[in-house]
A and B are shown apart, each in its own frame.
Chain A
Amino acid sequence: MTVFNLAIELAYWQQTVIRSVLALVAVLLPAGTLVYLYLFKMMSFMQSRLGPMEAGPYGSLQLLAEVGKFLQKEDLYPRAADRVVFKAAPFVVLASTFLLVLVLPAGPDAWFINIDTGVFLALAVSSISVIGILMAGWGSASKYSLIGGLRAAGQLVAYELPLVLAVMGVVIQAGTLNVQEIVLAQANGEIFGWGGIGNPFLITQFLGFIIFLVAVQAELTQPPFDMPVAESEIVTGYLTEYTGMRFLLFFIGEFATAGIFSALAATFFLGGWYFPGLDPTDNLFNLLGPVVLIGKMLLVSFLIFWFRFTYPRFREDQLQQLAWKVLVPLSLLNIVATGVLKVIF
Chain B
Amino acid sequence: MNLEASTQQLSYIANQASDARVNIELETEGMTLNLGPQHPATHGTLRIIVRLDGEQVISAEPVMGYMHRGYEKLSEVRTYPQVTTLVNRIDWLGSFANEVPFILAAERLMEVEAPPRAQWIRTALFELSRIANVVLFLGDMAVQLGATTPVFYAFRDREFVLNQIESVTGGRFHPNFDRIGGIKDDLPKGWIQETKDVLARIHSFCDEMQDLVVGNEIFQTRTRGIGIIPADVGLSYGLSGANIRSSGVDWDLRRDGGVGLIHDQLDWKVWTHPDGDSFARYWVRLQEVRESCKMVDQILDGIPSGPIMAKVPRIIKVPAGEAYVETENPLGIMGYYIVSKGDLVPYRVKIRSASFNNVSITPWVLKGVYVPDVISILASLYFILGDIDR
Do chains A and B make direct contact within the complex (CB under 8 angstroms)? yes
CB-CB < 8 A to B148: which residues of A? 43, 47, 223, 309
Q: Would B370 and A311 count as touching, CB distance under 8 A?
A: no
Q: A125 an interface residue at 8 Å Cβ cutoff?
A: no
Q: Which positions 207-229 of chain A face chain B at CB distance < 8 Å?
A: 223-224, 226-227
Q: Would B156 and A48 count as touching, CB distance under 8 A?
A: yes
Q: Which positions 51-95 of chain B face chain A at CB distance < 8 Å?
A: 55
- Name the contact of B153 in the complex, choosing from A47, A227, A317, A318 (C-beta under 8 A): A47
Cα–Cα distance between A47 and B221 once the two chains are bound (Å) = 24
Q: Would B156 and A315 count as touching, CB distance under 8 A?
A: no
Cα–Cα distance between A47 and B371 once the two chains are bound (Å) = 28
Q: Would B153 and A226 count as touching, CB distance under 8 A?
A: no
Q: Would A312 and B372 count as touching, CB distance under 8 A?
A: no
Q: A65 an interface residue at 8 Å Cβ cutoff?
A: no
A49 vs chain B, min Cβ distance (A)? 6
CB 8 Å contact bits of B208-245 with A (1 = contact, 0 = none) = 00001100101101100000000000000000000000
Q: Would A309 and B149 count as touching, CB distance under 8 A?
A: yes
A133 vs chain B, min Cβ distance (A)? 17
Q: Would B222 and A230 count as touching, CB distance under 8 A?
A: no
Q: Would B146 and A223 count as touching, CB distance under 8 A?
A: yes
Q: B17 an interface residue at 8 Å Cβ cutoff?
A: no
Cα–Cα distance between A147 and B32 once the two chains are bound (Å) = 12
CB-CB < 8 A to A48: which residues of B? 152-153, 156
B46 vs chain A, min Cβ distance (A)? 13
A82 vs chain B, min Cβ distance (A)? 18
CB-CB < 8 A to B149: which residues of A? 46-47, 309-310
Q: Taking CB as reference atom, which chain A residue is nearest B151?
A: A47
CB-CB < 8 A to B372: which residues of A? 227, 230, 233, 313, 315-316
- Name the contact of B221 in the complex, choosing from A226, A309, A316, A318 (C-beta under 8 A): A318
Pick from B105-113, B137-145, B186-194, B319-327 the stretch touching chain A.
Answer: B137-145
Cα–Cα distance between A234 and B2 once the two chains are bound (Å) = 38
Cα–Cα distance between A318 and B146 once the two chains are bound (Å) = 15
Q: Which positions 194-208 of chain B face chain A at CB distance < 8 Å?
A: none
Q: A287 an interface residue at 8 Å Cβ cutoff?
A: no
Cα–Cα distance between A224 and B142 once the two chains are bound (Å) = 12
A303 vs chain B, min Cβ distance (A)? 16
Q: Would B218 and A235 count as touching, CB distance under 8 A?
A: no
A137 vs chain B, min Cβ distance (A)? 14
Q: B147 an interface residue at 8 Å Cβ cutoff?
A: yes
Q: Would A312 and B371 count as touching, CB distance under 8 A?
A: no
Q: A72 an interface residue at 8 Å Cβ cutoff?
A: no
Q: B313 an interface residue at 8 Å Cβ cutoff?
A: no
Q: A69 an interface residue at 8 Å Cβ cutoff?
A: no
Cα–Cα distance between A312 and B299 once the two chains are bound (Å) = 37
B43 vs chain A, min Cβ distance (A)? 11
Q: Would A224 and B146 count as touching, CB distance under 8 A?
A: yes
CB-CB < 8 A to A234: which residues of B? 371
Cα–Cα distance between A247 and B146 once the two chains are bound (Å) = 21
- Name the contact of B216 in the complex, choosing from A147, A311, A316 (C-beta under 8 A): A311
CB-CB < 8 A to A147: which residues of B? 33, 55, 371
B169 vs chain A, min Cβ distance (A)? 27
Q: Would A315 and B373 count as touching, CB distance under 8 A?
A: yes
Most central of B34, B144, B373 by chain A CB within 10 Å: B144
Q: Taking CB as reference atom, which chain B residue is nearest A143?
A: B33
A265 vs chain B, min Cβ distance (A)? 22
- Name the contact of A231 in the complex, choosing from B40, B153, B221, B373 (C-beta under 8 A): B40
Cα–Cα distance between A310 and B39 once the two chains are bound (Å) = 23
CB 8 Å contact bits of B349-373 with A (1 = contact, 0 = none) = 0000000000000000000001111
CB-CB < 8 A to B375: which residues of A? 232-233
Cα–Cα distance between A310 and B221 once the two chains are bound (Å) = 16
A143 in contact with B31 given A309-B148, A311-B147, A313-B146 (CB within 8 Å): yes
Q: Would B373 and A310 count as touching, CB distance under 8 A?
A: no
CB 8 Å contact bits of B15-53 with A (1 = contact, 0 = none) = 000000000000000010110000111000000000000
Q: Taking CB as reference atom, which chain B residue is nearest A230?
A: B146
Q: A324 an interface residue at 8 Å Cβ cutoff?
A: no
Cα–Cα distance between A306 and B149 once the two chains are bound (Å) = 11
A224 in contact with B152 given A143-B31, A312-B147, A316-B55 (CB within 8 Å): no
Q: A314 an interface residue at 8 Å Cβ cutoff?
A: yes
- Name the contact of A232 in the complex, choosing from B34, B146, B152, B156 (C-beta under 8 A): B146
Q: Would A316 and B147 count as touching, CB distance under 8 A?
A: no
CB 8 Å contact bits of A307-330 with B (1 = contact, 0 = none) = 001111111111000000000000
Q: Would B371 and A233 count as touching, CB distance under 8 A?
A: yes
CB 8 Å contact bits of B122-163 with A (1 = contact, 0 = none) = 000000000000000000001111111100110010000000
B281 vs chain A, min Cβ distance (A)? 16
CB-CB < 8 A to B221: which residues of A? 314-315, 318
Q: Would A314 and B218 count as touching, CB distance under 8 A?
A: yes
CB-CB < 8 A to A231: which residues of B? 40
CB-CB < 8 A to B142: which residues of A? 312
Most central of A143, A224, A226, A232 by chain B CB within 10 Å: A232
Q: Would B222 and A315 count as touching, CB distance under 8 A?
A: yes
Q: Which positions 267-308 of chain A face chain B at CB distance < 8 Å?
A: none
Most central of A231, A233, A311, A317 by chain B CB within 10 Å: A233
Q: Would A233 and B41 count as touching, CB distance under 8 A?
A: yes
A232 in contact with B218 given A47-B149, A227-B372 (CB within 8 Å): no
Most central of A223, A224, A226, A316 by chain B CB within 10 Å: A224
Q: Taking CB as reference atom, which chain A residue is nearest B38?
A: A235
Residues of chain A touching chain B, judged by Cβ–Cβ distance below 8 Å, are 43, 46-49, 143-144, 147, 223-224, 226-227, 230-235, 309-318
What would 12 more interface pairs be, CB under 8 Å, given A48-B152, A312-B147, A314-B222? Answer: A49-B156, A230-B372, A232-B144, A232-B145, A235-B39, A311-B146, A311-B147, A311-B218, A312-B142, A312-B145, A312-B213, A316-B55
